[in-house]
Structure 1
């Protein structure tokens, strides 16, 4: 089966446990204002590649990624190409690799059930806890991602959760307290990451002749991040991290 692939990264330490290869699929139904890969939005762009070719490319690195790492399939939104995604995951599992799917959560649960047996970890992005704020930020509400997280908890499926700390949207105490209260109740969350906003993708928008809606918003300095770390600790008693180098 063929699918549209944006790119493949051979070695990453930011996309799941250990050292991992990351396959970025093309296509995404969201339009997150802070997205750093707007070149993945369109479905039928990128490279049209056979799944066997992608699997073979990743397996060239098996000796380096198999012991404590694995392969993560990201995007775009990988579930937007659910047939292709299912075939990749099945191939990677048959090869003995730990598999992760990095998703916005904008996916039907029937599609998740198709890939659940071949996915060891879901890395799920919570964009905003308020459905209207989420729609303003991404173009879609948070209904599907919250349904997904409830479904994965019922299945006892391992989950990492990420949230971008964005000035004016997700840096308020109400959002942080609501987010922490929600995540704290989930029994299957193994990792909770907060990713500070950065503007490194601005040049991509210019190259693609797309408006950069966050122009003028400042990045966080180290003092501000310490303040937010203290705020998160106020509401969240489990382990979390503020990933200065990670992005989504």
Structure 2
């Protein structure tokens, strides 16, 4: 962009922001946009800048050279959105590069109308390929049953999350997806405090292990109480160690 062309572009800017344009301004913009031609896209970039409201309504729009460069590139790239190069048979690398750059330049500049639609993939897998997939257990072509054939409620019943929270707890009756709770009610948790770990019975139920009988649970509780009593006795014995007697040696 030459200084005279930059002056013309600044004239378009002045129509929006009432700036004063001088020779120094034209030379400065020409230096900043030395590789950007003065064309319709550059003028459209100015219009796009001032046609977009600022984020702050009280802010005054004031275009800069980098705004012209950025918006002009966006305008040209928008025309290339659906562009796809169509090669010629047996073309060399040099021919490909020349034709590709020529098509991109023509469409980006607007001299050739931009493609209006995306190219769609056509065709599908061969019968042999589908047969091989089905032989390996693929069911991609199965029909989805209607709601009348398999009610949604039945489908929901078949969905289970993994882990202990995927079953109802046999100890505290915590529902699926909810943590186990203690048997002690508090002011904050009147129905029982949530536990960080699920009950052993719930873990056993989730893994498919058989549940303990009442006799087995009573024996397990008795074993735990006995172990606690032994531990308490050891602690009390350690606390009641008598002081050592000091024996004075005869002189």
TM interval, shorter chain, is: under 0.3
Q: Which of these two proteins has the greater Rg computed from alpha carbons?
A: 2
Higher strand share: 1
Q: Greater share of helix residues, 1 or 2?
A: 2
Ranked by relative contact order (alpha carbons within 8 Å, sequence separation 6 or more), the top structure is 1
- Scaled by the length of structure 1, the TM-score of the pair is 0.17
